[in-house]
Structure 1
Amino acid sequence: MAKAGMTNTIAIGIAVQSNWDNRQFSSSRSLNVHRLFEFLLQSESATKSKMAVLNEKLTTLEQQLEFLEAQLCTAVDPS
């Protein structure tokens, strides 16, 4: 009978260890997903900011080009 009790204790110990391992794995995975999500949010924010700056520069260049085209047309055809 003592052997059966010992077997049950070992089985319970193994189950507890397995449960603990599963919880650690799950927690680790959850933390990694959270870190990935935070990284993606930061990347999105940085990308939007850089795109806004590039858009402003492109708009300025387009305006300068239109101005130069107008000057060229006036210089070539003054009528």
Structure 2
Amino acid sequence: MNMNKHEIRQLIEAGLPGAQVQVEGDDGQHFEATVICAAFAGKPPLAQHRMVYATLGEKMGREIHALKLSTRAA
């Protein structure tokens, strides 16, 4: 079962309260997300990306085949 950009946004927002999240992608498999979150402050990009991936759990690599991330602290 594929996900849609709205479901992905909701998962990220639930896992990172207060984050500003924008997700693009209409083919059901490949998505691009921009996540701005105060919790990212002082963390390198790799750690920020891991925090986002943690909100998606097992869906990464299954329902979500590709997710291009752009992250920054609020």
TM-score by length of 2: 0.20
Q: Normalized per residue, which structure has more strand?
A: 2
Name which structure has the greater RCO, CA cutoff 8 Å, separation 6+.
2
Larger-gyration structure (1/2): 1
TM-score, scaled to structure 1: 0.19
